[in-house]
Structure 1
Amino acid sequence: MGLRINNNISAMNGHRQLLNNDKSLTKSLEKLSSGMKINRAADGPASLIISEQLRAQISGLNQAVDNSETAVSMVQTTESALTEVSNLLVGIRQLAIHAANEGVNDVNMLEADQLELDNALNTIDRITNNAQFGVKKLLDGSTGANGVGIGEGVEFLGASPDTRPSPIEGFEVRVFQLGTQAVKAGTVEFTQDMVNNGEEITIAEGGKTVSFKAEPTDSVDQAIGKLRNEIKENGLNLELIRHDDGSLELKHNEFGGSAKFSVASSTAGLLSSESRVMESAVPGQDIQGSIGGEVATGKGRVLTGGKGTKVDGLQIRYTGDILTERDAGEGADAAGRVGVFQNSLIFQIGGNPGQKTSVSLVNTNTRVLGRGVQNESGFKSLRDLDLRNAIGAESAIRLADAAINDVTRTRAELGAFQKNTLESNLRQLRINVEEMTNAESIIRDADMAKEVTEYTRNGIMVQSATAMLAQANQMPKTVLTLLG
C-alpha cells in the first residue's frame, strides 16, 4: 500500500460515513420528538399525498358529524314545538265535540267554548311565530316547500323536499277526468201522500245505518228536515238534496271512488229503483290528470306528483271543470298552473360534495291548518272555526281531524328522519372517522419501538464513525517515522 499525505482517503471515507450516520441520527430524533415518520415532503412524497388526502377527508367527516348532531338538535326542537301544537289541536277537537252536544249546551256554554277555542288558536299562532333554532323560523312555512295555485279551481296543498322548484310560469296542470261524488238520485217526487203513508228510507254509509220512517202528521218539508237531522246525528257523511221537481238526491260529501253508500226506499223510484231493496249509489270517480307533464296519482279531487319525477310529492286540489284530452298536444287548454318554491331544510351530512339530505316542515299557522277540508259551514281553515252552532261544531271536528293528521304526519316524518337518516348517518360517520384515522396513522405516525431501535443504532454508528475518523486522521503521521 502506498503512503500519501496530500489526500487522506480513509479520513474522507470516515467523514462521509460520519455525516450519513449523523443525518440518520437527526432524522431519528425528529421522528421520536414529533411522533411522526413524515415530517417533511422529502420523508415520503407519495405517502405525504395519501396522508394529506386522508387528513382532509377526516376533517370533513368530523365536521359532518358536527353538522348531523346540530341537525338532530334542530329536529328535536321542532318536534317539541309540534308536540305542543298537537296537544292544542286535540283540545280543540274536544271542544268541538262538546259544542256539538246541542241537546245540553246553552248559549253561555257555547260562548265559553268559543272563547277557549280562540285562545287555543292564538296559542298555536304564538308557537308558530316563536318556534325557531337560532334565528331560523321553524313552523311559519319558511322552511318547507311552498306553492300557489294559478287559475280558477287550482289549490296548492303541499309538496315534499323532493319536489323541484317550478319555472317562473309554474307547472301546468291538466285534468283528464274530474273527481266526482257518489250519488243516488230518485226519479219520482216526494209527495205528501208518501209522508202520510209512513214512507220508510234506510241509508247505510261508512258502517253506520239510518232507518227513517215519516210521521203522517208531518209535512213534506218537516219529513225532509227530520231525515237530514238523522243523517247528521248518526254521523253519515252524506247530503240530502230536494230538487225543484220534488225529487230527492243523496250525495256523498267526499269525492272519489272510495266514498260509497247504499239506500232503500219503500216507494220504488223515490231513492231506490225497487221497493225496500238496498241499492248502491253510483260510485264517484277519482280525478285523473298530470302536473308539469308528469302523470299524477288521483284520489278524490287531489292530484299527487309521481315518485321520482320533478313533481314528486306535489299535491294540488282541483275544483274547476276544465278538461283536457289525454292525447292533446302543446297549446291545449290546461286547468291551470301551480308554482312551487323550494325552501326545505338542507343538511350537509357527509364529507364530500352532494352528500346532503333535506326535510320539509309543516306550516302550523291557523290560517293554513285544516285548509282544503270540505265542510258544511264553509270554513277555510282553523282560524274560521265557530262553535256557537251545531253545524259549525260538526265542521270544526272535521277540520281539527285534518289538522291533527297533518301535524302528526310531520312529527312521524321528523322522527323517521332523525332515526333513520341523521342518527344512522352519525354512527356510520364515526366508524368512517375511526377507520380513516387508523389508515392515516399507519402512513404518517412513527412506530416508536422501531424508531428507538434506529436511534440507538444510529447513535452507536455516529460514535463509531467519529472514533474511526480520528484514527484515519492519525494515519499520515506514520510517514514521520521514515523521516526520523
Structure 2
Amino acid sequence: MPQVITTNLASLNAQRNLNASQSSLSTALQRLSSGLRINSARDDAAGLAISQRLTSQINGLNQAVRNANDGISLAQTAEGALQESGNILQRIRQLAIQSANDSNSAADRKALQAEVAQLTSELNRIANTTTFNGKKILDGSFQSQKFQVGADANQTIDVTISDARATALGNYSYDSTNNTAAQGLEVAAAAGATLAANNFKAQAISINGSLGQATISAATLVAGTTARTVATEVNNVTGSTGVTATARTTATISTLTAAGTYSFNLYGQNTTAVQISTTVTSTSDLTALRDAINAQSGLTGITAEGTGASLTLIQAEGFNIALENVIATGGATLNLTGGEGAAVTLGSAVGSDSSTVGGQVTFNSENAFTLSSSVAGAAGGLFGAAAAADAGVTGTLAAVGSVTIATQTGANSAIAVLDAAIQKLTAIRADLGAVQNRFGSTISNLETTSENLEAARSRVRDADFAAETAALTRGQILQQAGTAILAQANALPNGVLALLRS
C-alpha cells in the first residue's frame, strides 16, 4: 500500500463512521428525552400520518365525552326542576280533593282556589326560568337539540324536553257529546226507534296520535255499534296511537205527567228484559222509581240518581240504555232525554212505546291528537253534523293553568286534568332519566374507544425505552471508539516523516 500524506483514507473512513454513530446517538437521545419514536416527519413519514389521524380521532372522542357529560348535566338540571313541579301538581291535586268535599263553604273554596292560582303561577315561573348555559329548557323551546357525541360530523344524540308550563300540562280529550242532537252515539230521534236507527252508521275511524296512526274499520264499527264497543276498539290500538277512550251512557227520566203506576222493560248490559214497575205518588218525587231501578242494577249495570222530579240514569260502561214497552196508568207519559238533550215522550196504556239512548265516547291522550270518520256527521258519523266525511276533529287540551276548584264540579274536573298532568310530567322525567342513561352508555363506549386508539397510537408513535437505551449505549461506545480510532488515523501520515529522516 503506498504511503501518501495528501489523502488520509483511514481518517476519512473513521470520520464517516463517527458521524454515523453521532447521528444514531442524537436520535436515541432525542427519543429518550421526548418519549416519542417519531419526532419529525423524517423519522417515519407514514407513521407520522397515521399517528396524526389517530390523534385527531382521540381528541374528538375526548371532547365528545365532555359533550355527553354536559348533556347529563343539562338533563339533571331539568329533572331537578321538574321534581319540584311535580310536588306543586301533587299539592294542587290535594287541594282539588279537599275542595270536592261538600263540607267546604263557598268562601273556603275561594281560599283554596287562591292557593291554586299561586301554585300555578309558580309552575309557570319554574318552566320559564329554568335554564342551562343561558338556554331555557322547560318552556317548550328545547326541541330536537343535538349533542355531538362522536369524533366525526353528525354523530349526535337528539334531545327534546316537552313543555312543562301550566298551560301545556293536562289532558287532551274529545267527547262525542260535542255532537249535535241525534248524531253519532246519541238518543234515538223518535219513540219506538230501534238501535240501528240511532243514527250511528257503519264507519271507519282514523286516529292520529303521538305514537302514530291507526284505523278501525267499518267492518268492526257496524251500524248501531255501542259506545262501549267503540271505546274497546280504540283502546285495542292505544299502543299504536297513544289515545285511549272511555264510554259512558247517561239519560234522564223527567216530566212525568201524572202520578200512578209506571212499568217498562229496562236494558243496559243485559240482553234479557228486566222489568221495572213502581207506583209514583208525586211527579215531583221519583224516589220510588229510583229505588226500583237501582234494585236491578246488578243485572242492568244502570244506576239512578236523583230525588226530585227527574232521575239521571247512568250506564258506566257505555252500554245503551233502552226503555221498552213503557206503560203508565191513565195515559200518563214521561220524557226520556239523551246526553245531548234530545227528548222523547214515552208512555201508553198498552206499552207500545220504546226508545234507546246511546252512550258518549271520550277520547283522551297526554298529547295532541286528531280523529276522523269515513261517514259525515249528518249521516250518522261519530263526530257530529258539522264534520264531513274524513274531516278531522282535534282533541282539546284541558290544562292545569285553566283549572278552577272554586266549585265542586270544577274540583272534580280538575282532578282528572291533574292526574293527566302528573302522568305527563312523570313521562318527561322518565325521558330525561333515559337520556341520562343513554349519555352514560355513550361515555363508556367513547372512553373505551379512546383507550384503544391511544394504545394503537402508542405502538406507532411512542419510543421503546429498552431499545432506545440499548441504542444510546451502542452509540456512546461507538462514539468513544470512533474518536480514539480517528485520532490514530490522523496520526498515520506521521510515518512518512520517518522515511524523510532516514
Question: Normalising by the residue count of structure 1, what TM-score does the alignment of the two structures yield?
Answer: 0.62
Superposed, 1:207-286 pairs within 5 Å as 216-217=280-281, 219=283, 227=304, 236=316, 246-249=335-338
Aligned partners of 1:157 and 1:372 also within 8 Å: no
Name which of structure 1's ranges 441-450 and 7-16 shifts more when overlaid on structure 2: 441-450
Superposed, 1:66-465 pairs within 5 Å as 66-102=66-102, 104-144=103-143, 182=247, 196-197=261-262, 216-217=280-281, 219=283, 227=304, 236=316, 246-249=335-338, 300=363, 316-318=369-371, 335=391, 372=396, 380-419=398-437, 421-465=438-482
Give the drift of 1:65: 0.9
Give the drift of 1:33: 1.2
Aligned partners of 2:400 and 2:418 also within 8 Å: yes
State how far apart, in whole Å, the 2-side matches of 1:6 and 1:195 are. 152
Which residue pairs with 2:299 in the alignment? none
| Alignment-mate amino acid for residue 15 of structure 1 | Q
Change (3 A) 1:429 1:461: same
State how far apart, in whole Å, the 1-side matches of 2:474 and 2:260 are. 118
Aligned partners of 1:195 and 1:216 also within 8 Å: yes
| Alignment-mate amino acid for residue 400 of structure 1 | L
Which residue pairs with 2:385 in the alignment? none
Larger Rg: 2
Which residue pairs with 2:175 in the alignment? none
| Alignment-mate amino acid for residue 247 of structure 1 | L
Aligned partners of 2:261 and 2:279 also within 8 Å: yes
| Alignment-mate amino acid for residue 463 of structure 1 | Q
Aligned partners of 1:99 and 1:389 also within 8 Å: yes
Change (3 A) 1:233 1:227: closer
Give the drift of 1:268: 10
Which residue pairs with 1:310 in the alignment? none
State how far apart, in whole Å, the 1-side matches of 2:97 and 2:425 are. 20
State how far apart, in whole Å, the 2-side matches of 1:127 and 1:194 are. 61
Which residue pairs with 2:191 in the alignment? none
Change (3 A) 1:392 1:321: farther
Change (3 A) 1:214 1:386: farther
SS at match of 1:49: helix
State how far apart, in whole Å, the 1-side matches of 2:254 and 2:373 are. 31
State how far apart, in whole Å, the 2-side matches of 1:451 and 1:235 are. 91
State how far apart, in whole Å, the 1-side matches of 2:114 and 2:355 are. 43
SS at match of 1:246: strand
SS at match of 2:492: helix
Which residue pairs with 1:307 in the alignment? none
State how far apart, in whole Å, the 2-side matches of 1:36 and 1:437 are. 14
Question: Deviation string for 1:419-452 (max 9, x for gaps)?
Answer: 1x11111122222222222221222111223212
Give the drift of 1:481: 2.1
| Alignment-mate amino acid for residue 113 of structure 2 | Q
Aligned partners of 1:247 and 1:270 also within 8 Å: no
Aligned partners of 2:92 and 2:119 also within 8 Å: yes
Change (3 A) 1:173 1:199: closer
Question: Normalising by the residue count of structure 2, what TM-score does the alignment of the two structures yield?
Answer: 0.60
Change (3 A) 1:158 1:185: closer
SS at match of 1:139: coil
Change (3 A) 1:143 1:241: farther
State how far apart, in whole Å, the 1-side matches of 2:403 and 2:319 are. 21
Aligned partners of 1:173 and 1:335 also within 8 Å: no
State how far apart, in whole Å, the 1-side matches of 2:130 and 2:208 are. 22
Percent of aligned pairs with the same residue? 31
Give the drift of 1:316: 2.4
Aligned partners of 1:32 and 1:451 also within 8 Å: yes
Give the CA RMSD over aligned residues: 5.0
Give the drift of 1:233: 12
State how far apart, in whole Å, the 2-side matches of 1:333 and 1:197 are. 42
1:480 matched to 2:497: yes
What are structure 2's unaligned runs of at least 5 residues?
145-161, 169-178, 180-206, 222-226, 232-246, 270-275, 291-302, 324-333, 341-350, 377-387
| Alignment-mate amino acid for residue 49 of structure 2 | I
1:28 matched to 2:28: yes
Give the drift of 1:483: 2.2
State how far apart, in whole Å, the 2-side matches of 1:450 and 1:415 are. 51
State how far apart, in whole Å, the 1-side matches of 2:264 and 2:81 are. 54
| Alignment-mate amino acid for residue 436 of structure 2 | Q
SS at match of 2:450: helix
Which residue pairs with 2:200 in the alignment? none
Change (3 A) 1:237 1:410: farther
SS at match of 1:227: strand
Which residue pairs with 2:44 in the alignment? 44
Aligned partners of 2:248 and 2:318 also within 8 Å: no
| Alignment-mate amino acid for residue 131 of structure 1 | T
Change (3 A) 1:393 1:189: closer
State how far apart, in whole Å, the 2-side matches of 1:333 and 1:202 are. 32
Change (3 A) 1:475 1:440: same
Change (3 A) 1:184 1:96: closer
State how far apart, in whole Å, the 2-side matches of 1:144 and 1:200 are. 58
SS at match of 1:3: coil
State how far apart, in whole Å, the 1-side matches of 2:31 and 2:354 are. 101
State how far apart, in whole Å, the 2-side matches of 1:399 and 1:11 are. 101
Change (3 A) 1:40 1:62: same
State how far apart, in whole Å, the 1-side matches of 2:456 and 2:124 are. 53
State how far apart, in whole Å, the 1-side matches of 2:393 and 2:261 are. 54
| Alignment-mate amino acid for residue 130 of structure 2 | A
Paired residue total: 369
Query: Which of the numbers 471, 474, 479 marks the counterpart of 2:488?
Result: 471
Change (3 A) 1:132 1:240: farther
Aligned partners of 2:37 and 2:462 also within 8 Å: yes
Which residue pairs with 1:259 in the alignment? none
Give the drift of 1:99: 1.4
State how far apart, in whole Å, the 2-side matches of 1:232 and 1:125 are. 40
